[in-house]
Chain A
Amino acid sequence: MNWEQFRAILWLRWRLTRNQMTRGSGLGAVIAALAVVALVLVAVGGGVGAIFLGAVAMKSIPAPTLMWVWDGLVLVILFFSLMGVLSEVQRSESVDLTRLLHLPVSLRQVFVFNYLASLISFGTVVGLAFMLGLAVGLTVSRGPRFVLAMPLVLGFVFMVTAWIYCLRGWLLSLMVNPRRRRAIAMWIMVSIILIAQSPQLINLAYQRKARSEREARRATQVQQLLNPDASTASATNAAVTNSPTLPEARPDASHAIQIADVITLAHPWVPVLWLPHGVRRLAEGSFLPAIWGAAGMIALGWFGLRRSYQTTLRFYRAEEKPRSTSRPIQPAKAVPNWVERSLPYVPDDIAGMALAQLRSMTRAPEVKMMLGMGLFMAILLPGMIFLRGGVSFPVAGKPFFGTIAVVMVLFALLQLVSNQFGCDRDGFRGLVLLPTPRDRLLAGKNLALLPMAAAVAFIPLTGVAILAKLPVPVVVATLLQFGAAFLLFCTLGNLASILAPYRIAAGSLKPTKQSWQTALVALGAHCLFPFVVSPVFLPPALGYLAQRLAGLPAALVNMLAAFLMAAGFAWLYVITLRPLGRLLQRRETNILRAVTETTE
């Protein structure tokens, strides 16, 4: 292995990362410099701090507690390593084989270089420094047998980095296909969000479980206090419920203890837990688990690296695994062409635009991801409110729930609607070349959004209608509010798309080369959105006022007001479409420059 070549590859990785961070502005360069300084400081500080921690604070803590501390460390390192690899495979400029193999280096060397270079990451550097520091500290405080914690730490880091490297290679080999690449990038993004949100979700689920257990225990206590006489039961129940003297049932700790026992028992069998297990057994005076653990993790790491190399080799030689041929391949059936279809009462060019746009959006993973996350939030937030239990809502407030759900659904679509041409990317060039009047293009694009918005709105609106037991006129009013809000939303989205378009990276909704002006407009659009769509709250507010002040049925007034509002916004949409079309025509070359890469 040539040291100069290794240094060159390290430099290349560093340069790629630095250039990515500093691209476009001086602020990025400052952030990159600060990040490096922070990495060094955190690694050195963490290592030194861990020595003191191990030498002083952990001198006499019980062995099981020591194990839990190391379990926490393992979790943190796994989290950062996983996040690191997931974000790395999304980068377009990875140091892959094809960019190095024309150089005078062998495949094996490139593989080893790449693996060694991958070790220089935040999670690995800081985690290794901290764990080694802790091992040194424990050796100082608890005796020389804790020297064995160091090979355990090294074995753990080797195993984790080797398998993470294997995962990275596998993902990259899958991403060779551009269509699959986008799907994987989407799932990676979803995974990152879910991993980052997992503590929140687990906490919510645990709280809900604990609450239901507490309520069940409370009900049992009530039953025990109840008089057998049924006639006095409800009065007693009410008295007990309102009584401040009844002791609040405490969450049972036995559940947590059971889980802890299971995890402790699992330690010898789960490789990533061999490090905490080995440390615990060292604290208990047993050497063998630490030695076996270190050897086992090094062996597993070696196996992972070998497997990764074989994947690399297969990829290099373009060897594909033989596919199952149990079923004979059927000739492809002619699939009806979506774009050919016509829509009732819709002019042909608008229908063509709408259907092509809809077809394109339903295949775009970034749009699916955005809709999925919007739907997730639109279900999660009302779900948290309605399924919480023990919360009662005023009847007069119920019509507003549907309106809130409508606003949330549209908010999920905001990024798509406020930068419609950015999402077209190079395709916008095709639209500019079309002879179609621009107002018709806008109408077609807006029409394509309707089924998507309706599909996303369906679940939360249905959920709210059922859980809040909304009367039929209120449901109808909510649907009308949805229509009205959608038209208003499209009008403003068209305007924002024309005035402040920006380029977004392929397969994502990430802005690239965005000027500060367009960034400001995009931020403003997000901040002002609730105010802009606030008129949709007028119908339920009018219904409420009509009932309070004049005794009129709130639901009917709400429905009537929603109908009038929908008609008003439809009229507004129609009269603004043509001027917006003209504005689009005037600005389309500017938009084209903003949303496509122009190399003159």
Chain B
Amino acid sequence: MSVVIETTGLTRVFGSLRAVDGLNLSVASGRFFGFLGPNGAGKSTTIKMLTGLLAPTSGQMRILGEDLADENRAREVRRRIGVVPENLALFDNLTGREYLTFIGRMYLLPIATVRTRCDELLAMMGLENEEKKLTLEYSHGMKKKLALAAALLPGPELLFLDEPFEGVDAVSSRVLRDVLRSCVKRGATVFLTSHVLEIVEKLCSDVGIIANGKLVYQATMDEVQQQNGSLEDRFIAAVGGDQAGTQHLSWLAESP
């Protein structure tokens, strides 16, 4: 099984903050990788670097076997990946269909293919009746679904999803999960960040935990289960949550 994401000493510094600190990560092809971490741990910074949205301060990374430092190779890699970034990447003044058409054309897909895939994706995401709405008018969940549709449209080999289930209702969440499972089934790799451990536990085959910019745990879900604990236990043990002081707010204990 080939490695599709490989980083060595990947580091990103913002002023005095080392958001990602010497990250060594390896994700094999065809896996469903869940990247976990507490708030501010460096998940989004990592995914931004992996997708070329942010330049690393130091370290190397290879995506689909290509070095992203080479601009031409990086562009070729982009043709083979799909991304749902944290703050999405939608144009406010386009409708959902127009946005998907634009993405399809930029990937140089034949217009008939673009049209068919747009119809299918919009129907699957439940956005087919929002033809006249601009993405500006979409709710957060609708925007997430549209961004995922755009990422899926070119049929990518590798999908990067930053918090894809955040703000999405239960029905849509189910649809998204099914779509992602089918992507993995056809051989694609999915790399997602999330702080909802239950979703990661249900979906992912592999898990990595980042805390303070460092990878503190990486294992397959089978290995997690063999260690006689839930993912939550592993997570809390890895990020040091059990050492957090249980502060006692005396006034909350008093009767109102």
Name A residues whose Cβ lies closer than 8 Å to a Cβ of B.
177-179, 182, 332, 335, 337-340, 342, 348-349, 351-353, 355-356, 359-361, 363-364, 424-430, 432-437, 506, 582, 585-586, 589, 592-593, 596-597, 600
B16 to chain A, nearest CB (A): 13
Stretch of B29-37, B49-57, B199-207 that contacts chain A? B49-57
Q: Mark B67-92, 1 if CB is under 8 A from A, else 0.
A: 00001000110110001010111111
A/B pair count, beta carbons within 8 Å: 123
B17 to chain A, nearest CB (A): 8
Q: Is the CB of B136 within 8 A of A338?
A: no
Excluding A348-B105, A600-B14, 16 further A-B contacts by CB distance (< 8 Å) are A179-B136, A337-B98, A340-B101, A351-B105, A352-B101, A353-B106, A356-B94, A356-B101, A426-B88, A429-B88, A430-B89, A432-B53, A435-B107, A582-B71, A597-B87, A600-B44
A599 to chain B, nearest CB (A): 8
Quick check: is B193 within 8 A (CB to CB) of the other chain? Answer: no
B173 to chain A, nearest CB (A): 23
Quick check: is B181 within 8 A (CB to CB) of the other chain? Answer: no
Q: Is the CB of A364 within 8 A of B105?
A: no
B114 neighbours in A (Cβ, 8 Å): 340
A150 to chain B, nearest CB (A): 50
Q: Is the CB of A429 within 8 A of B78?
A: no
Q: Is the CB of B87 within 8 A of A437?
A: no
Q: Is the CB of B98 within 8 A of A338?
A: yes
Q: Is the CB of B98 within 8 A of A427?
A: no
Q: Is the CB of A340 within 8 A of B53?
A: no
B79 neighbours in A (Cβ, 8 Å): 435
A147 to chain B, nearest CB (A): 54
B83 neighbours in A (Cβ, 8 Å): 433
B71 neighbours in A (Cβ, 8 Å): 582, 585-586
Quick check: is B19 within 8 A (CB to CB) of the other chain? Answer: yes
Q: Is the CB of A178 within 8 A of B136?
A: yes
| Complex CA–CA separation, A481 to B168 (angstroms) | 53
The 8 Å CB contact of A427, one of B44, B92, B105, is B92
Most chain B CB neighbours (cut-off 10 Å) among A178, A353, A360, A430: A430
A509 to chain B, nearest CB (A): 14
B250 to chain A, nearest CB (A): 24
The 8 Å CB contact of A430, one of B14, B55, B91, B134, is B91
Give the 3 A-B CB pairs with smallest separation, nearest first: A352-B105, A430-B89, A429-B89
Q: Mark B108-122, 1 if CB is under 8 A from A, else 0.
A: 100100110000000
7 residue pairs of the A-B complex, CB under 8 angstroms, read A351-B105, A352-B105, A363-B94, A427-B90, A433-B51, A434-B103, A592-B54
- With A179-B137, A435-B79 in contact, is A335–B131 under 8 Å at CB? yes
The 8 Å CB contact of A340, one of B78, B92, B111, is B111
A369 to chain B, nearest CB (A): 14
B138 to chain A, nearest CB (A): 10
| Complex CA–CA separation, A459 to B209 (angstroms) | 62
Quick check: is B132 within 8 A (CB to CB) of the other chain? Answer: yes
Q: Is the CB of B115 within 8 A of A340?
A: yes
A337 neighbours in B (Cβ, 8 Å): 97-98, 101
A515 to chain B, nearest CB (A): 15
Q: Give residues of chain B (134-152) contacting chain A, Cβ–Cβ below 8 Å.
A: 134, 136-137, 150
| Complex CA–CA separation, A381 to B35 (angstroms) | 60
B75 neighbours in A (Cβ, 8 Å): 435-437, 585
Q: How large is the interface on B (under 10, 10 to 19, 20 to 34, 35 or more residues)?
A: 35 or more
Q: Is the CB of A429 within 8 A of B85?
A: yes
A589 to chain B, nearest CB (A): 5
Quick check: is B8 within 8 A (CB to CB) of the other chain? Answer: no
Q: Is the CB of A427 within 8 A of B91?
A: yes
A224 to chain B, nearest CB (A): 64
| Complex CA–CA separation, A470 to B132 (angstroms) | 45
The 8 Å CB contact of A600, one of B45, B76, B85, B94, is B45
Q: Is the CB of A429 within 8 A of B137?
A: no
| Complex CA–CA separation, A592 to B85 (angstroms) | 13
B90 neighbours in A (Cβ, 8 Å): 426-427, 430
B150 neighbours in A (Cβ, 8 Å): 430
A348 neighbours in B (Cβ, 8 Å): 105, 108
A394 to chain B, nearest CB (A): 46
Q: Is the CB of A427 within 8 A of B89?
A: yes
| Complex CA–CA separation, A437 to B111 (angstroms) | 20
Q: Is the CB of A339 within 8 A of B101?
A: yes
Residue on A with the closest CB to B100?
A339
Q: Give residues of chain B (1-23) contacting chain A, Cβ–Cβ below 8 Å.
A: 14, 17, 19
Q: Is the CB of A360 within 8 A of B94?
A: yes
Q: Is the CB of A589 within 8 A of B98?
A: no
The 8 Å CB contact of B19, one of A178, A360, A600, is A600
| Complex CA–CA separation, A363 to B93 (angstroms) | 6
Q: Is the CB of B87 within 8 A of A339?
A: no
| Complex CA–CA separation, A335 to B14 (angstroms) | 47
- With A356-B94, A506-B92 in contact, is A434–B137 under 8 Å at CB? no
B222 to chain A, nearest CB (A): 33
A340 neighbours in B (Cβ, 8 Å): 101, 105, 111, 114-115
| Complex CA–CA separation, A447 to B103 (angstroms) | 18
Q: Is the CB of A339 within 8 A of B89?
A: no
A555 to chain B, nearest CB (A): 43
The 8 Å CB contact of A356, one of B17, B55, B91, B108, is B91
B133 to chain A, nearest CB (A): 9
Q: Give residues of chain B (35-68) contacting chain A, Cβ–Cβ below 8 Å.
A: 44-45, 51-55
| Complex CA–CA separation, A592 to B103 (angstroms) | 19
Residue on B with the closest CB to A334?
B131
| Complex CA–CA separation, A432 to B93 (angstroms) | 18
| Complex CA–CA separation, A352 to B107 (angstroms) | 10
Q: Is the CB of A434 within 8 A of B106?
A: yes
Q: Is the CB of B89 within 8 A of A356?
A: no
A596 neighbours in B (Cβ, 8 Å): 87
| Complex CA–CA separation, A436 to B19 (angstroms) | 30
